[in-house]
Structure 1
Amino acid sequence: MELDLGAVRAFVAVTDHRRFGEAADELGISQQAVSKRIAKLESDLGAVLLHRGPAGAEPTEDGAALLVPARALLGAADQAADAVRSRRRALRVDVLGTRLAATELVRDFHEATGADVEIITSDGLRSAGPALLRGAVDAAFVRVLGPVDPALAHTPVCLDPLHVLVGARHPLAGRRQVRMAELASATAWMPGNTPGTEWTAWFADLAAEFAVTITNRGPDFGFDHLLDEVARSADVLTFAGEGVRVPWHPEIVRIPVAPPVPVYAHSLLWRRAHRHPLLPALIAHLRAGYRPPTRARVWLPPAEQHLFADP
C-alpha cells in the first residue's frame, strides 16, 4: 500500500486546526475534498484516525500514532520538491554592497552568460559564512582572513585598487595620482568601518603600513552624506576602491593611488556540498578573469602576501 500524500497532508491540517473548514482554507481546497481525503486515508489504513464532535476533530489513538511519522513524511516530501525547485531558481550571490566591485563582477557574469542571478546584501564574512552553510545564498564575495569552515571553499577573484576621494578645495584636488607616502600625515574619514569586519581590518593594516590616520568618528549616514562632508572640507579625505561606483558629485575629485597601489582582495566563497547548476559557471568565469598580482605593482596586507604571483 502507498500512502496518498494529499490525504496525509489533509489529516495533518485537520489535527492542527481541529476544524475541517480551517484545514480546507489552509490547503486551498473545499471542505468536502478534505473529508474525502481523510476517508480515503482511513480506508487505506483500515483505522479510524479522527473523532468528530462539537468541539472539533480530535485524533484517535491510531491517529495520534500516525501524526509524528506523517509530519516527517510530509517534511521529506517538501524537502525533495525543494531540492528540484532550488535548481531552477536564480543563483543567489551575497555582496557587501551594490556599489562595490563584486556587484560589477556579478553583472559581467550575467551579461556574458545570460544567467539568472539575485543579489543579496549582507555585512561581509561574518554573516555570509553562516548564510552559505544554511543554504540561504549560493556564493558570497568576501575578504578571506585565515582558515574558513571546512565545509566552505574559496578562490581569489578580484583585486580592487585604492582611490582617494577629496573635495575640490583640497590641496590634492589637482593631482592625477598620489603616492601613499604623501598621505602619511593625512586623516581619512571612513564612518562605515565597523569594528570586527574584514574591511576594517584591511584599513587598519593600511594605516599601520603607511602611517595614515583613519577614523570612523560620528554616525554613518551613508555614502552620499560622506561625500557631502568631504566636498565641504579642504583637509578631510576618504578612500574608495577603483571598482566602487561613486555617485557623481560636482565637488568631489577621485584620484588613483600610484604603484605600488594598495589593493583590496575579493574572494568568492561557497559551500562545497551545495551545487546550484550555475555555481560552477560563476566560479569558472571569475577565475578566468583573475590575474595574480606582482609586488612591484601592488601592496597587500601581511595576511594576503600568498596571493603574489612572484615568490
Structure 2
Amino acid sequence: MASVDLDPAQLRAFLAVAEHGHFGRAATELTITQQALSKRVARLEELLGERLLDRDGRGAHPTPAGERLLEPARAVLAACAAAVTAVRGAARPLRLDVWGHLFAPLRTVGAVEFDALEVGHGRDLPSVLGALLRGEIDAGFGRHHALPDGREHELSHRLVRLEPVDAVLGADHPLAGAAALRPADLRDSTLLLPAALARLEFLQRFAERFDLACESTTNMGAEHFLAHLAATPNAVTLLPADAPLPLTPGLRTVPLVDPTPLYAWSLVWPRSNAHPAVPALLRAFAETGRRNRWLEYRPDRDWLPEAERAELGPLGG
C-alpha cells in the first residue's frame, strides 16, 4: 500500500468540526474562514478516500470512518506538539487559554508570578479541551466539570482557587435594598444567564440546588448582558465578589450568605505530553494561593457543587 502523508492542518480542521459538530463554530475557533475549513476537510477526505463527516441541517458529525480517525488524529497532533516542545523546550512560553470570561479569569492568572506564559481565550471547557488535544495550547484555566461525553477524563486538573460570588441585580428588583441575601431568598427571582444553561455548569448546579428558574440571553458581551439585567426587575445573576463590573447604571451587588456559594477555578492540561513547565506553573498557583487563602472552605458556611466538595477531600467534609 502506498504511503499517505497526512497534513496536520487538515487533521486539525477535521477534529475541530467533529468536536464542535458545526463548521462555523470550528472555523471561528481555528480563526480561519469556513470556506478554508471546508477545503481542508475535503482534501483530507480525498486523500484518505473516505467520507469523514456527514453534513445536515443541524451541523456535522463523524461517519464510521471519521469515528475511527478521531483518536489517531489526536495522537498525530499531540506528537507534533511534543516534537516542538522537545526541540524548543523551556524556550517556548507555555500557552494558556482561559474561559469563563464574565467571571474575569485573568484577575487570578495575573496575580500569579510566572513569566513564560502566553495567554489566549477559549470559549468554554469543551473548546479548550479540543485545543489541548490538538496541541494548539498547553494548559487551560477555568471551571473544570463533567462533560456529557466524559471527555474531561482526558485532562489532568488541579483546583487552585475558590472564589465567593455575589448576587447582582437591578435597582428595581424587590431585594435590591438588602444588605445581604441567602440563596434561598432568590427563589422568586429568575436567574439570568449570559449563554445557554448547558454551557454554564456552575449556574446550572446553583439553580438546581436552590430551585431557581433560569432565562438565557444571547451572548453579546458583558455590557449588553448587565444592561439587560439592570432593566429586568425580577432578574438576578451571580458574579465573583471582587470582579470588576462595567459601569452599568442601576446595578446592585449584594453578598450571598448562609451559605456563600464558591466558584471553583482549576488549571487543566493533557494527561499525555504535558508541557515541561506545567509543574512550575502549578507551584506558582499554589504559592500565590497560600498567600491569598484561595482554597479556604468551611462546609458550615460555604456552598460548593458536589464534585468540588469531593475533590477537596477531608477539607470538604
Task: State TM-score, norm by structure 1.
Answer: 0.64
Structure 1 window deviating more from structure 2 (243-252 vs 120-129): it is 243-252
Instruction: Write the letter of the residue equivalent to 1:291.
Output: L
Structure 2 contact 122–128 (Cα < 8 Å) conserved: yes
* Partner of residue 307 from structure 1, selected from 303, 307, 311: 311
Instruction: Write the letter of the residue equivalent to 1:286.
Output: F
- CA gap 1:225/1:260 in 2 versus in 1, 3 angstroms: same
Structure 1 contact 190–239 (Cα < 8 Å) conserved: no
**Corresponding residue pairs, total:** 229
| Structure 1 Cα separation of the partners of residues 136 and 152 of structure 2 | 16
1:161: how far off? 1.8
Instruction: Write the letter of the residue equivalent to 2:286.
Output: R
Structure 1 contact 94–120 (Cα < 8 Å) conserved: yes
Q: How does 1:125-144 map to 2 (within 5 A)?
A: 125-144=125-144
Q: How does 1:94-133 map to 2 (within 5 A)?
A: 94-109=97-112, 112-113=113-114, 115-133=115-133
1:300: how far off? 1.5
Partner SS state of residue 145, structure 1: coil
1:305: how far off? 2.5
Structure 1 contact 140–268 (Cα < 8 Å) conserved: yes
Q: How does 1:49-128 map to 2 (within 5 A)?
A: 83-85=86-88, 87-109=90-112, 112-113=113-114, 115-128=115-128
1:287: how far off? 2.4
Aligned-pair identity (%):
31
Instruction: Write the letter of the residue equivalent to 2:261.
Output: P
1:81: how far off? 6.4
| Structure 2 Cα separation of the partners of residues 291 and 282 of structure 1 | 17
Task: State TM-score, norm by structure 2.
Answer: 0.63
Instruction: Quote the residue 1:208 is aligned against.
Output: 208
- CA gap 1:80/1:188 in 2 versus in 1, 3 angstroms: closer
Instruction: Quote the residue 2:295 is aligned against.
Output: 291
Instruction: Quote the residue 1:269 is aligned against.
Output: 268
Structure 1 window deviating more from structure 2 (142-151 vs 222-231): it is 142-151
Q: How does 1:32-47 map to 2 (within 5 A)?
A: none
Root-mean-square deviation (CA, aligned residues, Å) is: 2.8
- CA gap 1:88/1:194 in 2 versus in 1, 3 angstroms: farther
Instruction: Quote the residue 1:165 is aligned against.
Output: 168
Unpaired runs of 5+ residues, structure 2, are 1-78
Structure 2 contact 100–124 (Cα < 8 Å) conserved: no
- CA gap 1:307/1:292 in 2 versus in 1, 3 angstroms: farther
Instruction: Write the letter of the residue equivalent to 1:250.
Output: P
User: Deviations 1:124-148 (Å, cap 9, x if unpaired)?
Assistant: 2212222222221111123333565
Q: How does 1:170-249 map to 2 (within 5 A)?
A: 170-195=173-198, 197=199, 199=200, 201-216=201-216, 218-249=217-248
Q: Which runs of 4+ in 1 moved over 6 A?
A: 76-79
| Structure 2 Cα separation of the partners of residues 223 and 139 of structure 1 | 25
- CA gap 1:243/1:282 in 2 versus in 1, 3 angstroms: farther
